[in-house]
Structures are given as C-alpha cells and as structure tokens.
Amino acid sequence: MYQAESSRVPLGHRGLRAGAASGRGGRVSRNVVVLGAVSMLTDVSSEMVSAILPIYLVFALGASPLQYGVVDGIYQGASALVRLLSGFVADRWRRHKDVAAAGYGLSAACKAALVAIGGTVSAVTAIVLVDRTGKGIRTAPRDALIALSSTPATLATAFGVHRAMDTAGALLGPLLAFGLLLLAPARFDAVFVVSVCFAVVGLAVLLLFADGHPRERDDQAGIERTVDAGGRTRPTLREAIALLGERRFRVLVGIAAVLAIATISDGFIYLGLQRTLDLSLTAFPLLFVGAALVYMALAIPAGRLADRLGRTRVFLGGYALLLPVYAVLLVPSAGLVALIFALLALGAYYAATDGVLQAIASALLPDRLQASGLALLVTAISLAKLISSLAFGLVWTLGGLDAAAAAFTAALVAALMLAGWALARSPEAIA
C-alpha cells in the first residue's frame, strides 16, 4: 500500500504550485490531484451520457416526455438519500477510499449496463437510479479524503483544485458525446462504450493511485476535544449527529443554509437571464457553458485567496457577487455587456463558495467525522435549495420575474447581514 507519509510531502516540481512557497497558501498534496483526476474522468463519463440521455430516450427508445421527466427527476434527486449513510459508514470503518470506490465502481458498472441492456425505457430508468446512487455514495467520502490529504493552510486551495478539474470534465463530456455522434450518427452505443472507458480509467486511477489513509491530521479543530472523548474508538452514529450540537459547526451549517435559501437556483437564474435579455433559445445552453468556464478558471485562484485572506471572507464575498447577477435580472433591457458581466459574476460566485464552504467545514470537523460532517452540511444545503426553488417559483408565478428577483435580492442582503453578524458574534473564529 501507499505510504502514509508520501501524501504529506508536497509534490515539488510535479505538483500544482498553488501559492506562495511559505505562509498560508502553498501546494496541494498529490492525493488531491489524483482525486481531481478521478473526478474529471468520471465527469467526462457521466456528463457525456447525461447530455445525450434525453435524445436517446425519446428518439432511440420512443419514451414519452412524461417518462423522460421521470428519468430526469431521478437524475436530479436520487443521490441525496444515500449521501448521509455513506458518509457515516466511511467514517466509522475508516474506509473512505473503499466507500468512494464502491460509488465510482457502481457508476462505471451502470455505464456498462447501458451498453448491455439499455434498450428499454424501464431498464434505462433503473440504471439511472443506480448510477445516481453511486454518485451519492462517493461524494462525501471523496471530499473527506481531499480534506484529510491537505494541510489546514491549503484546504480551500485543495478543494479549488478538485473543483476546477471536476468542472473541466463536466465541460469535456458533452463535447466528446457531440463529436462521437457526428462521427457515427445515431450510434448511441458508441457513446456508452466510450463512457465506460472513461469511468473504468477513473476507477483505476482511484484504486491505483489514491491514498485511502492520508496523514492522521493533528487536531487543530477543537471539536474533537468535546466530541471525541473516547480517543481512537470508532465514531458512533450518536457522535455524528452530535456534530450538529457543536456550536461553530451549527453556526456554519445555519449560515450556509440561510444563504442557500436566499439564492435563486441556477435554472431560474439562466431562465431569468434568457427572458430579461431576450436570448434565443438555442443560445440557452451557452449560458451554462459560460458560467462553468469562469468557474473552472477561478476555482483555484479563489481557493488560494481564501486560504490567504480568510475563507469566510471569500465565502461571503462570493455570495455578495450574486447581487450584481440579480441586478441584471431586475434591469429592463440589459444588453450583451450585462450578460457577460452576469456570467463572470456567477462563475466567480461558484468558485468562491462551493469548494470554499467545504474547506471551512472540514477545518472545523474532526478527522474521524469528516465524511459525516460534510454529508450533513451538503444535505442541509440541498434542503435549503429545495425551499428556495419552491419560494422563487411561487413568487414568480404570483408576481412575475421582477418581483421574485427583487424579493430574493432583499433576502440575500438580509442573509449576508445575518451571516456577518453570526460570525462576528461567534466567540471563536470559524475560519
């Protein structure tokens, strides 16, 4: 097996130099780059399938739009259920890599199943369900491994590196699928076969190169002193739940959830931009691509900035970047310049918040409960997003887009002030 020490050693000339040679910042460990590569390969694999899934279901299998809607709903929702469980299992038996590998393996097997038996709508529905379960299983242990492979000073940079690679894969996948269908029109099986290849290579990189037991991190977190009274025993479910009783973690989860409730969901933002700017519907997907490109480019710099200037500062700054995006939704007859500005701000918001929040949380969490804590945080945010989506849809329906954007602007300002107040009131620094 891999030596525990090796992941602690910075990569030197082979590593990503992620900041100044000394002080806060610094380099991310090789294990983070390995996990980033695994995510990139897996995202190429899964995004190339999800890009062609609608057309495959409707045209190759003759699914009705309702059936497609069911599959799409599963695609969006199935992963939340297993996330909490897999996070806890990974912590309890200290098997982060194995649990993550099970998740990646399950998804790879699903791509193979699409090739073998994906010929009917019901089979594809079942396969998509299992595939998304795989995603739910792998996320929390993978993020825990990233945290455990990083020094406290480079946590946000490490998550930034991972998210940048992950997003690169998500952008490459649809392009690859598109290219394959140009080469071999209507041969969806060719897309599935290539998808299997990427998934298998991703799994191989994980199994061969990822370190499942990175350094036993020094306890700088503080939580461990209160929760981990029993020394090195296995964490229990009670301890995992008790994380929510720990003041600073609870404040963080609360802040993240309140901000998420005040955030207009991605779909609505893109739809609002499309309506406000009267974009052609064919240009619609380009909005996603534009924001993802900015996210990819800024994920590492934002992480580095967070490690240097303070993570909560960058995190709250990221949310503040949403305000100009909302403003574009509110301004009537905004032009192309406003659109580019909005996409830049939106991409920067993703970069400054997604990985950085995971970094803030993992700095607070004891090593032995990393995966459980991160899973709790992500689940709380998912719930908050659901509430936000419901509220925005309701206000839009009742009062129109302007009213909804104005209400959410006010809510976001209030949430930012609340977050600033809660952080200032917190006796110990959160990050």
Partner 1 sequence: MNGRVVALIAIVSLCVVGGGAYVTVAALTAEGTTSDERPRIVVDEAGAATLPAASSLLVRAVDYDNPRLNGRVYRTELAPGDTAESVGGLACERVYVSPTGTGLCLAVARNGFDYQGLVFDRRFQRQASFSIPGVPDRARVSPDGRYGAFTAFLSGHTYSLGVRQFSTHTAIVDMRAGKPLFSLDELEITRDGERFERADANLWGVTFVDGDRFYATLGTGGQHYLIEGRVSTRRARVVRDHVECPSLSPDGRRIAYKRRVGKLDRWRLHVLDLSTGRDVALAERRSIDDQPEWLGDAHVVYSDDRHVYAVPADGGGRPHRLVARASSPVALP
Q: Which residue ranges make up the site for partner 1 (CB under 8 A)?
A: 52, 54-55, 58-62, 64-66, 68-69, 72-73, 76-77, 178, 180-187, 189-190, 193-194, 196-198, 200-201, 204-205, 208-209, 265-268, 271, 280-282, 284, 385-386, 389-390, 393-394, 396-398, 400-401
Given the complex with partner 1, which of 6 and 226 has the nearer CB atom?
6
**Which conformational region is residue 28 in: left (phi greater than 0), alpha (psi within -120 to 50 degrees), or beta?**
beta
CB of 208 to partner 1, least distance (A): 4
Provide the angle, in degrees to the nearest 10, between the axes of the packed helices 336-364 and 311-320.
150
CB of 20 to partner 1, least distance (A): 31
Q: How many CB atoms lie within 10 A of CB 313?
A: 15
What angle is formed at CA 413 by the lines to CA 407 and CA 414, rounded to 5 degrees?
90
- Among 50, 37, 369, 408, CA closest to 195: 50
Given the complex with partner 1, which of 271 and 323 has the nearer CB atom?
271
* Residues contacting residue 257 through CB under 8 Å, at least 6 positions apart: 380, 381, 383, 384
Which tokens go with 424? 């200032």
Between CA 162 and CA 236 the distance in angstroms is 29
- Asked whether 347 and 395 are in contact (CB, 8 A), the reply is no
Quick one: how far is CA 344 from the chain centroid?
Answer: 19
CB of 285 to partner 1, least distance (A): 9
CB of 46 to partner 1, least distance (A): 16
CB of 242 to partner 1, least distance (A): 29
Given the complex with partner 1, which of 120 and 226 has the nearer CB atom?
120
Given the complex with partner 1, which of 265 and 426 has the nearer CB atom?
265
In 36-127, at which residue ranges do the beta strands (DSSP E only) sit? Answer: none
Given the complex with partner 1, which of 159 and 268 has the nearer CB atom?
268
CB of 338 to partner 1, least distance (A): 22
Given the complex with partner 1, which of 306 and 381 has the nearer CB atom?
381
